[in-house]
A and B are shown apart, each in its own frame.
Chain A
């Protein structure tokens, strides 16, 4: 790993090409594997429609009835799709390194930093592609958005995806076996999802839950997504009752989480045994 300042143009080009290769492979695999796309849509769709309408019928509506439960949950499901896809694609590094293509990448003349960054880009892109399919369902749950809002949602999802892929790589960077996979699932992924306020408002939740939600990066992603997704259909003063932080604060905290994951992830990934 050359110091960042000292990289010459030629080797920088090679590093970028290496990172691009890793990214391209992730995207190509996603596009190629239709079965996986369909299968991984099942879960968010179940949550959105079954939980959304099922629970929604017994919940009167939020923000003084201005937001139906399905509409409230919709941005949470966007966050969930991004979260799950990003983490899974990062965790796949573990298998990939021992039994797959990544092994070949590790002996190629490309730095580990480039490989890790390419993987973050690839995982994020796949997460976004997956989430876009859900995003297109917005009108189906009665959320109408202008194109700027779609773009803004996309940008927020991209940020959340990059943060969560980095988190996944940090977890996977030194892992050699898949034994702990279930552990990660139960102790990391599901709590991050449930505590993020994706399925219920955190305002008015018990204090311990609020505290845990504060250290959950997904909370800020869902909060930001919700503000944008509901901004067109809910008056600002009512929307205030559903959100935790101003959007810029959410973005800043997410970015900070991202760096806090990415830097050690790249370092650990590059460490040679």
Chain B
């Protein structure tokens, strides 16, 4: 498919690579995002999610590869790309000494939104996220969730075709996260905007139309959440026993299943239909010369985490805070 030839794809990325000194953060990713889609980048910290989004929003220059956003070439038509996109950064990017409305006005100035249009549009969007009463308060007095809502309003002010969101709910409590998502999904309907987001929250990834799972700078799977979970095949059964090793051997001999051993000693296995498997498994473990006592059993539908584990052998975990994280914290303290 030739780049830029299909109008339905609002983002087309072709073998995008980003190398820093001696370290390749993104190793040639290729994907397309359709008009109106909510497209998610799921992966652990350091997988290359933010680097990719920072290239697509013109903050970083790709080492090689191409990308076309809203019909504009990322490398040669930077200003047109910038005018086409809205952005929510991982770190807060509001001026907390100014009021919400002032932050919005500066955005309108930078994107050349005419005054009357700005007033109309900001009033409408502020109403939608429930910030109308707070718009003239200084952002420093805002809660984390309010700041995010203001950033959403700001990012959509100039009617972008693509809305980039880099971990939009990072550091927010679960209730606020859900709220932010409700707003995002409503706005997506009303604004008909395409959303490209990165996340390492599985429940958020579930809300995307399609997900690219990214690990070590490469896309290792790309599909709808349902289809991805379908690759796991059936249900997930987790058991804890008094003798994990023996239980493993029995399951292997009788049911031809190779359970995965978790760090806490639990056994995890994928089976076609768990409700029918569990009684047979119990019989197997309780039978024989040396029965194994089962302490607990759980059965659940596969999640995206299982997909990730299946693909990489690892869980999407929170990594220990790196230098960036530390500076982030210090920066916040320093700036009050």
Contact = CB atoms under 8 A, between A and B. Distances in A.
Contact of B87 (A104, A111, A178): A104
A273 interface: yes
B328 to A, nearest CB: 7
Contact of B61 (A100, A108, A272): A272
Which of A28, A108, A178 counts the most chain B CB atoms within 10 A?
A: A108
Which of A32, A106, A111 counts the most chain B CB atoms within 10 A?
A: A106
Which of A21, A99, A103, A272 counts the most chain B CB atoms within 10 A?
A: A99
A29 B58 contact: no
B107 interface: yes
Contact of A32 (B97, B111, B334): B97
A11 B334 CA distance: 37
A148 to B, nearest CB: 36
A272 B111 contact: no
Interface residues of B, number: 37
A117 to B, nearest CB: 14
B85 interface: yes
B202 to A, nearest CB: 27
Nearest to A115: B110
Interface in A75-97: 95
A25 interface: yes
Interface in A192-222: none
A14 interface: yes
A108 B108 CA distance: 10
Interface stretch (B88-96, B169-177, B203-211, B302-310): B88-96
B161 interface: no
Interface of B: 57-61, 79-80, 82-83, 85, 87, 89, 91-98, 102-103, 106-107, 109-112, 154, 323, 327-328, 330-332, 334-335
Contact of A29 (B57, B79, B97, B109): B97
B331 A21 contact: no
A119 to B, nearest CB: 14
Which of B59, B92, B110 counts the most chain A CB atoms within 10 A?
A: B110
10 contacts: A25-B95, A25-B106, A28-B102, A29-B97, A101-B93, A101-B106, A104-B87, A105-B110, A107-B87, A109-B80
A103 B93 contact: yes
A104 B61 contact: no
A272 B60 contact: yes
Nearest to A11: B79
Contacts of A104: 87, 89, 93-94, 107, 110, 154
A35 to B, nearest CB: 11
A109 B97 contact: no
Given A21-B110, A95-B331, A109-B83, A103 B91 contact: yes
A177 interface: yes
A99 B328 contact: yes
A18 interface: yes
B97 A33 contact: yes
Contacts of A100: 92-96, 335
A25 B107 CA distance: 11
A110 interface: yes
A99 B328 CA distance: 7
Which of B58, B82, B97, B328 counts the most chain A CB atoms within 10 A?
A: B97
A29 B57 CA distance: 27
Given A25-B95, A98-B91, A177-B323, 7 more contacts: A21-B109, A29-B97, A29-B98, A95-B335, A98-B327, A99-B331, A101-B95
A98 B91 CA distance: 8
Contacts of A245: none
A17 interface: yes
A111 B331 CA distance: 26
Interface in A164-192: 177-178
Which of A25, A109, A272 counts the most chain B CB atoms within 10 A?
A: A109
A105 B110 CA distance: 7
A178 B331 contact: yes
